Amino acid sequence: MARFDAAYEIHVHGQVPLRPEVGLNELQDALRPLWQYAGALSLEDGATSAYTEEPGIRFDPHDNLLQMCWTVAGDDDFRQTLDDMCMNLNEIAATGAAIEVTFYDNQYDEEPGDSEDDSKDDFVMLFVGPTPADIMQAQRDMLVNDVIHMMERHFDSAELGGVVHEIDKLFAARFDDLVKSLDLGKPPRGNGGSGSGHGGGRKPRHLH
């Protein structure tokens, strides 16, 4: 359904490597939140971007790769659509991957002298992957690339090994904390435990 009075133009951009056994049918189910939000009846109908120069949503069966460069009109309720999409992609992704989402404020017309504070534009970075470790690896790799790119303006890349090491320590500590939090939800081992309840080891939807 068209949203002529939508608050935003929303651009979704990213590449997600998929498991070898994933085909178009599985991908259509995983991306159902996106194409249904666009008012389409199938992925094929909903894969086209609002802008003809953008490739939209594409599936490369040769490389088992989902490619997204897709814009849709929408509102803040699209954030729930993103949550649902990430949950689904976690189930079919082969590795961790990043997805960039930009909300462009339709009510903001940039004129000379306008303040950027008047714009309600928003940017969200999402991460998906088959396991929390894969998601954190994708986060770590992106952070390292960004930090190295920025610091290479002032330092030789050979001097930045210590910086990368400190970033790795931060992510190692975060992963250890995650593992501990998941372990807390597991029932006690051994015959002596009558622990009830199910393990709290559910995979996170995504990590911003």
Q: Are 46 and 12 in contact (CB under 8 A)?
A: no
Kindly tell me if the per-residue pLDDT of 9 is higher than 60: yes
Neighbours of 208 (CB within 10 A): 8
- Between residues 60 and 174, the one the model is more confident about: 60
Contacts of 29 by beta carbon, 8 Å cutoff, 6+ apart? 88
Beta strands in the chain (DSSP E): 8-17, 56-60, 65-74, 97-105, 122-128
Q: Which residue has the tokens 């290479």?
A: 152
Question: What's the residue count for the chain?
Answer: 208
What does the pLDDT read at residue 107? 83
Average pLDDT, the chain: 84
Q: Is-above-0.85 flag for pTM?
A: no
What does the pLDDT read at residue 187? 54
Q: Which residues pair with 68 in a beta bridge?
A: 14, 57
- Between residues 114 and 15, the one the model is more confident about: 15
Tokens of 13: 């951009």
Across 100-114, average pLDDT: 76
What does the pLDDT read at residue 198? 32
What does the pLDDT read at residue 16? 98
Taking only the tens place, the pLDDT of each residue in 154-188 is 988 888 888 888 888 888 888 888 777 766 555 54
Does domain 8-130 match CATH 3.40.50?
Answer: no
- Residues 122, 103: Cα–Cα separation, whole Å: 5
Ordered by start, the domain boundaries in the chain are 8-130, 138-183
Confidence band (pLDDT; 50, 70, 90) for 114?
low
Neighbours of 163 (CB within 10 A): 14
Q: Which of 89-103, 107-121, 148-162 has the lowest mean pLDDT?
A: 107-121
- Residues 8, 75: Cα–Cα separation, whole Å: 6
- Residues 103, 75: Cα–Cα separation, whole Å: 9
- Residues 163, 185: Cα–Cα separation, whole Å: 34
Q: What are the Cα distances from residue 110, in Å, to 10, 47, 104?
A: 17, 29, 12
Confidence band (pLDDT; 50, 70, 90) for 47?
very high
Collapsing DSSP to helix, strand or coil, 203 comes out as: coil
Tokens of 7: 């608050």
